[in-house]
Amino acid sequence: MTGNMDAVGPVPAPGPDAVLPAVRAVWCEHAWLGAGGVADAVRVEVDGAGTVVGVLPGVPAQDGDVVLSGVAFPGAANAHSHAFHRALRGRTHDRGGTFWTWRETMYRAAGALTPALYEELATAVYAEMVAVGWTSVAEFHYVHHRPDGTPYGQGDSGPHAMELALARAAVRAGIRLTLLDTCYLAGGFGTPLEDGQRRFSDGTAARWLDRLASLRTTISALYPAQQVSVGAAIHSVRAVPEDQLAVIAQHLPPDVPLHVHLSEQPAENEDCLRATGRTPTALLDSHGLVGDRLSAVHATHVSGRDIAVLADAGAVVVLCPTTEADLADGLGPAGDFRAAGARLALGTDQHAVVDPWLEMRALEHGERLRTGRRGHFGPEELHGIAALGGAAAQGRRGAGFRPGCAADFMAVDPRSTRTAGSSRAQLAYTATGQDVTGVVVGGVLVARDGVHATLGRPADLLSAAIARLDEAADAPTGPGRATANHRRGRH
């Protein structure tokens, strides 16, 4: 365990009513207190579990305080990530095609991953995330087994080698991790797995549930839940046949957050209607899987009825606006979801962009483009979606400047090239991750001016990790040889 994670490290999770004494403090030059506006000289006291226990505006910093310059906001909770997709950034954008052709390239990258390579890459990706203000991440993880589908064994740090690699990466980067272990069984409705999908599958939902139970036991013995916790995911209704959905509905423990890719593409809806006579939302609902522990990721192509079902059930709708634009998924009905009372969250998904500020802005811009009007999501709502919506999707406490909140903060420079002249209240519309001056997780500084407190520059980590993945993919016997060939146009 690294020193920077002391706040969310070895301290047992307190009970809901436990009050622990403050052990550290974060002093903010300015802090955005939501409806309370921006306050000056705010000292936030934090207990040993990384929870806010006191907020004092208008007081000086004390020796030993973590000092955040600029305007501090609640840390953003990333509700949807596939860490290895970061290796595809800048390599697929010029070829045209669709989500489906991008997916072929993504499978080749997945084929090259080993636990060691994935740990290195994920450490770099999580360092990139945390340096721009994401303080927790829901990792939608489906690369479970060896490329041929056989489980990892004792020589590879056990059957959870890939999952433990991600957990170690998050701990090193100082980001809170909700590891969404994903059930992935089929290549489509009535379609077997393709070769590139074999390592994603446990064969049956029952075997996935067994592995999930074992993973929960393993992770909870190693990490407190505020640092690493385990959730569940159904990859999509494409990838889990209906009879297996029924098994999951019956046996998934009720306290586990559940995520699903939902109606990202019209083709998924068409196939689902053809195979089952229902929309993906209606199919999940008919099995009792739509509830307040569900996070529906994308929900781009949904009917009015689907929107009502998700909203009424209290599900979280996880929008990934920069990914949905990059992959030409379409513009989801964010405003309709909000009007229906759905809870919203944001995710960076395939990581063509990793920046909570740009994700918040893209949400508002999408609504402007859709409606021809400005002013849909105000700054308070955008920060609420980024911080609290993403935390709800992970079953975590949200970050904020109130006792009981997670002491996770991101501060931005209000006088940068991008933000100079901006009203402090409107920084959500002008700042980017490049303007982040400091990030705190659990009261502990994890990044300053884009540099990670213990790992250094995310750019260096990413360059090294992606180069090593390329090397492995290029090796004559490498499992992902086709990846590099594809990237260079040698099909």
Contact residues for Zn ion, defined by CB under 5 A:
349
Query: In the bound complex, what is the minimum distance in angstroms from residue 138's beta carbon to Zn ion?
Result: 10
Complex with Zn ion: residue 349 or 470, whichever CB lies closer: 349
Query: In the bound complex, what is the minimum distance in angstroms from residue 347's beta carbon to Zn ion?
Result: 8
Complex with Zn ion: residue 295 or 430, whichever CB lies closer: 295
Query: In the bound complex, what is the minimum distance in angstroms from residue 76's beta carbon to Zn ion?
Result: 18
Residue nearest to Zn ion (CB): 349
Query: In the bound complex, what is the minimum distance in angstroms from residue 199's beta carbon to Zn ion?
Result: 17
Complex with Zn ion: residue 49 or 193, whichever CB lies closer: 193
Q: Do residues 240 and 197 touch, judged by C-beta distance below 8 A?
A: no
Catalytic residues: 298, 349
Return left, alpha or beta for 349; rule: phi > 0 is left, psi -120 to 50 is alpha, else beta: left
Query: In the bound complex, what is the minimum distance in angstroms from residue 464's beta carbon to Zn ion?
Result: 25
Complex with Zn ion: residue 68 or 79, whichever CB lies closer: 79
H/E/C letters for each residue in the chain? Answer: CCHHHHHHCCCCCCCCCCCCCEEEEEEEEEEECHHHCEEEEEEEEEECCCEEEEEECCCCCCCCCEEEEEEEEECEEEEEECHHHHHHCCCCCCCCCCHHHHHHHHHHHHHHCCHHHHHHHHHHHHHHHHHHCEEEEEEEECCCCCCCCCCCCHHHCCCCHHHHHHHHHHHHHCCEEEEEEEECCCCECCECCCHHHHHHCCCCHHHHHHHHHHHHHHHHHHCCCCCEEEEEEECCCCCCCHHHHHHHHHHCCCCCCEEEEECCCHHHHHHHHHHHCCCHHHHHHHCCCCCCCEEEEECCCCCHHHHHHHHHHCCEEEECHHHHHHCCCCCCCHHHHHHCCCEEEECCECCCCCCHHHHHHHHHHHHHHHHCCCCCCCHHHHHHHHHHHHHHHHCCCCECCCCCCECCEEEECCCCCCCCCCCHHHHHHCCCHHHEEEEEECCEEEEECCEECCCECHHHHHHHHHHHHHHHHHCCCCCCHHHHHHHCCCC
Query: In the bound complex, what is the minimum distance in angstroms from residue 81's beta carbon to Zn ion?
Result: 8
Complex with Zn ion: residue 289 or 399, whichever CB lies closer: 289
Complex with Zn ion: residue 113 or 446, whichever CB lies closer: 113
Complex with Zn ion: residue 170 or 406, whichever CB lies closer: 170
Query: In the bound complex, what is the minimum distance in angstroms from residue 318's beta carbon to Zn ion?
Result: 9
